[in-house]
A and B are shown apart, each in its own frame.
Chain A
Amino acid sequence: MLIIDCPYCGKRDEAEFHYGGEAHIVRPENPSELSDEAWAEYLFMRSNTKGRFLERWVHSEGCRRWFNMARNTANNEVEAVYLMGETPPKEVSK
């Protein structure tokens, strides 16, 4: 079980959190203008990264706030946490 450093509450057990999938997938501004392929790309396609992965988590059994996390999927190291809407901190931006 991971220890996750909630940016609002501090370090907590993973059991208090829910996973929210890949981060920085922005909902298209005008979905109606997208082709079926482009919409499907937004809707379904996600990267399956080995190594550093930017992902969303929500502290569902704590402050209930969403945030971003950089986690190494190969060793589960939590490399950084940062707020929703922020860009990844320099040390984890590729």
Chain B
Amino acid sequence: MTRQANRLGTDLVAGARIDRSKSIWFTFNGRRYEGHEGDTLASALVANDVQLVARSFKYHRPRGFFGAGAEDPCVMVQVGVGAETLPNLRATQVELYDGLVADSVNAWPSVNHDVGIVNDLMSRLLPAGFYYKTFMWPASWWTTYEHVIRNAAGMGVAPKQPDPDTYDHMHIHCDVLIVGGGPSGLAAALAAGRTGARVIIVDEQSEMGGSILASRLLVDDKPGAEWLASALAELGAMEEVRVMPRTTAFGHYDHNHMGLLERRTDHLGPGHDIARQRMWKVRAGQVIHAGGAIERSLVFAGNDRPGVMLASAAATYVNRWAARPGQKTVIFTNNDSAYGVAADLADAGISVQAIVDLRVEPGAAALEEASARNIEVLTASCVVETRGKRAVEGVTVMKLNDAGDGVVVGERRFDCGLVAVSGGWSPAVHLHCHAGGKVDYDEIQGCFVPGKTLEAARSVGAANGQLDLADCLTAGWQAGTNAAADTGFRKPGKVPKGPTATAVEVSPPRHVWIIPAKPGEENKVKRFVDLQNDVTDADVRLAAREGYRSVEHLKRYTTLGMGTDQGKTSNIPGLGILAAELEKSLPDVGTTTFRPPYTAITMGAIAGRYTGQMLEPVRRSPMHHWHENHGAAFEDVGQWKRPWYYPQDGEDMHAAVARECLAARNAIGILDATTLGKIDIQGPDASEFLNRIYTNAWSKLAVGRCRYGLMLSEDGMVMDDGVTSCISDNRYLMTTTSGNAASVMGWLEEWLQTEWPDLKVWCNSISEYWATLTISGPFARDLLAELCSDIDVSNDGLPFMSWREGTVAGAPARVFRISFTGEVSFEINVPASHGLGLWQALMTAGEKYGITPYGTEAMHVLRAEKGYIIVGQETDGTMTPYDLDMDWIVSKKKPDFIGKRSLGRADFLRDDRKQLVGLFTEDPLEVLPEGAQIVDDPNAPIPMPMIGHVTSSYLSANLGRSIALAVVKGGINRKGETVHLPLENGRTVRAEITGMVFYDPQGERLNG
């Protein structure tokens, strides 16, 4: 095959933006092709006469290039291989680089022979809402259907390996942000830049210029490219101006917060060691939307054959890339803009067979351009069919009647491989709408234009419905001047003139939303509205008749405007058809909501550097490295890394935990409890404050004493628990669960600041300042006595639930006699810098007692043996203190505390609430899975009534059997009864409801 058979020579296209001297080789669907520097994948494929690029989503119909940029609905490709592959890129937006590898998506086994085309043959059976109608019943089969549907509707393939590239997040402020580097945007940037304002101008394409790159327009009486070069040179020399090509403004958020995605190496291919993409978060003083307009198609029979292309796209391929999209063409239009395209194509040697215009009276200037090139213009006419196998080979044209709903007898046939269509222009109002901007309907242009905005923003140029170049330049210049002035930048002296162009008179377009087919064929033809999702005019009308009259419902039901292009070319025609069917005006039908992002952005850019180890801060105790050096397995508790268990000599987790649990009850266990939340609470009203925060009474807690407290939220549900100690008069140390330290601190502050500002109380988070080492077991007191000479650690000197200040192994310490194991236990708090030293001292001195470090798993087992709850494990935000069988901790005397009133609500007194109990399995070695459901009657028909679930479950080495905590409806009064637990594997386990305290029920071991 000829290399670049469709590349136009310099004799035909002089100013193309490609470097013909530089060849680039790339692979598409397994074949190698040649392109040039400056090409996109699309333009290079056009130049190589590759027409069939993709398959449509539902019917798998062949699809070719329809647009030339972000608007193209069809040509999705997978680019790159391995870890760096990106799925679902538009070929029209992929810049060519040497060695690029791309493949079609949604086609199997290949785009030329796609078995999914069988859907097309069945399309009579696949009307709008087909999936909803067919796969709704029976509901339980949905998961099966979904699997098949998802496979059939395959998009590209996500890479399976971790992304090797880096992505950055950038934050920046500016005075004026300009979206779009076309004539309007550049004029605005020049005006604003000259005032000295900080200006950012972005454009999604590889270079600035917008429509100038794709046309032969004159600016300031110079060729557009010349003016563009001088404008960019001037902007480049301005210190406060940042020009950002390859940067998509994807979202406009509240208060002029803008999201930009800058692609830095995608156009170079893999193997670059700078960040691949940057996500810019911009706070702009003023925003100027100059993102241009998107051409629409016309809805006519056979309009989805490859070879049917937007007129502007055809001109862009020719003018910008010297790529010929066809040798013979018919132009089909409802407005004047396509006449310029006809001229461009004709001048590039493409044979323009005819211009088919829906209107009776095209503009005078437009007609002149056609007649100067001897192009036949067929007015009041329409294309009633396209012909061809895989691609267009010809069209049939008929006269349109006055009403636009039928044709007049007599047809003309043309041979052509390209149908360049223009259905008018829709301003890209997307970003304007993201931030709550409204749109107004422009009856004449048949499009929505930006209306009221909530932001310090304005839309100009084609993005504002101004299609004439002269208007765009004037409006852009004005907008740049005004936006800069609004942020305080004004150039003194006379306001200089901006760039100019010659204005062109145009005639208004004619809007015919459904182009009639040949007489008698109305029900046979397919007219596509949405080329990506295969939505036809018949689908839209059917949905309307079935009652989907709201445009938002229509969208979900037919999938019109969904998918990766979000209906950039199809929205307005779809709305026009819906409006006609509902006999409403188009603005009364309204438009769907525009939401960010404007075009897809990569997950990598969203994640930025917050991946792997950078995802979240990691908190480690001062003893962390000791744990590491002694082989600890770690568990994440919030941001903390906590030792989970310490396996020795090839032990598995089960063996290690059993050994640790036995040591804590028979020798000494030592636990790193540093992660406990610690809040220093001070002030004359501190005890009153605690009274209101906790369910129990605090007024009488003496200095040196500790008390366990339960915190409820105002709805009466258990929120947190912990021990609080009286440090001195008006000073308390509150401990919280490790995971809740920050939220409890916030909770206390909220009440103090918002509800009780009269209380003189101050809270300070001191969790990190202290290391907490807990020793537990029958020899714990002996060990402590060895290392601590200034505290009487005897049962009388330091009774249970008290604390003393002193020195332990030379470190200043607060020693708390509290227990989460049920053994004699001391929580030794030392300044964090002493943590490791004390840990080592305890390990050394404790060796003769068999001191054994234990992790969180053993801690859980030991506390469960004693029936101590863990908030967040036994509780789930629906458990009251009564449900936990903890009535004893709820003060009857206090007039009020947070949550008290809720405890009196009728629902809380129901006796069939789920209540915390113990469970003994019939088989003592059966360890129930946590979360297992509990039923009374395992033979009950499904859905089986469930009466509770297991909250904690372990094998207890100390008891030689399994134990479990569970919540059971009315469980507190059902002790001794048998319940059943049907497990996932089909087995049902029997268990007896017991009390919660499995070990040492009398609590005799607490005092040693």
Contacts and interface: CB of A to CB of B under 8 A. Distances in A.
- Are A and B co-members of a single complex? yes
A76 B454 contact: yes
A20 B751 CA distance: 12
B527 interface: no
B900 A3 contact: no
Contacts of B715: 43
B754 A32 contact: no
A67 to B, nearest CB: 9
B446 to A, nearest CB: 29
A34 B901 contact: yes
20 contacts: A2-B254, A13-B257, A20-B750, A30-B896, A32-B896, A34-B901, A39-B901, A39-B905, A40-B905, A43-B902, A58-B746, A58-B749, A60-B746, A64-B749, A65-B753, A66-B750, A66-B754, A76-B254, A76-B255, A76-B454
Interface in B454-490: 454
A31 B901 CA distance: 6
A53 to B, nearest CB: 15
A58 B896 contact: no
A1 B255 contact: yes
Contacts of A80: none
Interface in A39-80: 39-40, 43, 56, 58, 60, 64-66, 75-77
Nearest to A72: B454
A32 B753 contact: no
Contacts of B541: none
B754 A39 contact: no
A66 B753 contact: yes
Contact of A31 (B254, B255, B454, B896): B896
Contact of B757 (A3, A43, A84): A84
B557 interface: no
Nearest to B907: A36
B739 to A, nearest CB: 17
B283 interface: yes
B796 interface: no
B900 A32 contact: yes
A60 B896 CA distance: 28
Contacts of A90: none
A85 interface: yes
A27 interface: yes
A15 B895 CA distance: 39
A76 to B, nearest CB: 5
Contact of B902 (A3, A27, A39): A39
Interface in A9-34: 13-14, 20, 27, 30-32, 34
A32 B895 contact: yes
A63 to B, nearest CB: 11
Contact of B436 (A20, A31, A39, A75): A75
* Most B Cβ at <10 Å: residue of A30, A31, A65: A31
Interface string B319-357: 000000000000000000000000000000000000000
Contacts of A76: 254-255, 436, 454
B28 interface: no
A2 B746 CA distance: 22
A2 B750 CA distance: 22
Interface of B: 253-255, 257, 283, 436, 454, 714-715, 746, 749-750, 753-755, 757, 895-896, 900-902, 904-906
Contact of A36 (B757, B896, B906): B906
A9 to B, nearest CB: 15
Contact of B755 (A27, A58, A75): A27
B901 A1 contact: no
A3 B896 contact: no
Which of under 10, 10 to 19, 20 to 34, or 35 or more describes the interface residues of A? Answer: 20 to 34
B466 to A, nearest CB: 26
Contact of B754 (A14, A64, A84): A84
A85 B757 contact: yes
A13 B750 CA distance: 21
A36 B750 contact: no
Nearest to B452: A75
B828 to A, nearest CB: 30
A14 B900 CA distance: 34
A60 B904 CA distance: 33
Given A76-B255, A76-B436, A3 B283 contact: yes
Contacts of A65: 753
B905 A36 contact: yes
A81 B67 CA distance: 49
A42 to B, nearest CB: 9
A12 B255 CA distance: 12
A20 B714 CA distance: 15
Nearest to B897: A31
A43 B753 CA distance: 19
Nearest to A4: B255
A58 B281 CA distance: 23
Contacts of A2: 254-255
Given A39-B901, A76-B255, 18 more contacts: A1-B253, A1-B254, A1-B255, A3-B255, A13-B257, A20-B754, A31-B901, A34-B901, A36-B906, A39-B905, A40-B905, A65-B753, A66-B749, A66-B753, A75-B436, A76-B254, A76-B436, A85-B757
Contacts of B749: 58, 64, 66
Given A1-B253, A2-B255, A76-B436, A56 B754 contact: yes
A27 B902 CA distance: 13
Closest 6 CB pairs of A and B: A31-B901, A66-B753, A1-B257, A75-B454, A3-B255, A76-B254
A92 to B, nearest CB: 18
A73 to B, nearest CB: 11
Nearest to A1: B257
Contacts of A60: 746
A14 B14 CA distance: 52
A37 B430 CA distance: 47
Contacts of A34: 901
Contacts of B714: 43
Contacts of A36: 905-906
Contacts of B255: 1-3, 76
Nearest to A40: B905
A2 B754 CA distance: 23
B432 to A, nearest CB: 14
B898 to A, nearest CB: 9
A84 B749 CA distance: 13
Nearest to B746: A60
A34 B901 CA distance: 8
B905 A31 contact: no
B239 to A, nearest CB: 26
Nearest to B255: A3
A56 B896 CA distance: 24
Contact of B901 (A14, A20, A32): A32
Contacts of A3: 255, 283
Nearest to A18: B746
A24 to B, nearest CB: 10
Contacts of B895: 30, 32
A41 B904 CA distance: 15
A11 B682 CA distance: 31
Contacts of A64: 749
A77 B533 CA distance: 38
B249 to A, nearest CB: 15
A86 to B, nearest CB: 11
Nearest to A77: B454
Contacts of B901: 31-32, 34, 39
Contacts of A39: 901-902, 905
Nearest to A85: B757
A25 B255 CA distance: 28
A1 B254 CA distance: 5
A40 B905 CA distance: 9
A20 to B, nearest CB: 7
Nearest to A14: B254
A43 B898 CA distance: 11
A66 B901 CA distance: 25
B768 to A, nearest CB: 16
A77 B254 CA distance: 9
Contacts of A31: 896, 900-901
